[in-house]
Amino acid sequence: MSIWSPPSVAEWIEAAPKEVKWLVDYFVPEDSVILLSGQQKLAFKTNLALCLSILVAAGKTFGCLHTSAARPVLYVYEEGSSAGTRSRLIKICKGLGVDPTSLHTMYLAHRQRVKLDDSAWRRQLIRFVQYEKPGLVVLDTMSYMHLGDENSVKEMSSSIETIQHIRDAGASVVVLAHLDKTKGGNPRADIDTQIRGTSLVVNFYDVHIACRRYRKSDMHIDMTVRHRDDEEKEFKISWTVEPESITPSVEPLEVGEMRTEELAMASYKLVDLDAEYHPHALKRLWDVSANTVIKYLGILEGKGKAIQSGKKWFFPKEE
């Protein structure tokens, strides 16, 4: 009987990759699990996941979404009508400048009732990855791909293990996730705490791409990309939807002032107008740090929505 013997640290370091390789620069590293989260219908998660998949499969760069080489992709999609999904795929391909008839190594498993916590499905997914060698597997969405209670650590652990097995078989995995009904609607909440279900879902990712759009009237979607091993960056996404095409525009935010201003305005909606507040009371009301309270008040004062009165702040009614 053989004896289990893991490598020494020196051996492991020698064998491990010396630098990160990317499927999509900064957004999708190889050998990784990527959590893609956002509100249902508002955040356009599936559109973004399809864009990333198409670009990886085609080996094409679009704007700041840079790929280095074409790699096979498996997209598991449990929503949408067949005709609607076909139309969306063709429109996104046209927006990206990709011929959809050329995507012979982008595989689509549409409404096949894949269950990550089912042992038979686990074996099929792993075998597919071992045989077809996709660089990327997309699971859209996590909510529909398990039989267990999403709030139970015990019942969700099998689904998480399947995702880890897929990654270990050689593919990066993008997992789409919905937001919690309460915390997901709070623009001041941390992106990790907004995810629906057990904390296991946010504990296993390498990259979290968080798309947030709190009102239909918002012209763009805020996107935060949080890495375990790299700095966090913010972007904004705008979608141009036309009869024949769907085209993304992804732009990095060089500074966080746009996000800060939007959060300040969201916090403003929580105060009573014609009332005075001490900063300590605002800290409790807004559930932010004292420094953040000062930032928000400075923005609101500049917009004429807050007036300092001694040690307190007054929020006049709008005329």
pLDDT in tens, 54-84: 999 999 999 999 998 999 999 999 999 999 9
Do 150 and 116 fall into the same domain? yes
Q: Tell me, what CATH number does 236's domain have?
A: 3.40.50.300
Tell me if 88 is assigned to some domain: yes
Last residue of a domain, one of 238, 253, 268: 253
Last residue of a domain, one of 234, 253, 272: 253
Residue 96 has pLDDT above 60, yes or no: yes
Last residue of a domain, one of 202, 218, 253: 253
What is the rounded end-to-end Cα distance, in angstroms, of the chain? 83
Do 269 and 173 fall into the same domain? no
pLDDT for res 258: 57
Lay out the sheet containing 307-309: strands in order across: 275-277, 312-315, 307-309
Do 224 and 284 fall into the same domain? no
Q: What is the DSSP letter of 185?
A: G
Which residue range forms the structural domain that includes residue 38? 20-253
Do 121 and 182 fall into the same domain? yes
DSSP strands (E only) in 231-295: 233-241, 246-252, 275-277
Do 67 and 169 fall into the same domain? yes
CA distance 44 to 107: 21
Tell me if 26 is assigned to some domain: yes
Read off the pTM: 0.80
**Domain count for the chain:** 2
CA distance 304 to 250: 32
Q: What is the DSSP letter of 28?
A: E
Do 62 and 91 fall into the same domain? yes
Residue 120 has pLDDT above 80, yes or no: yes
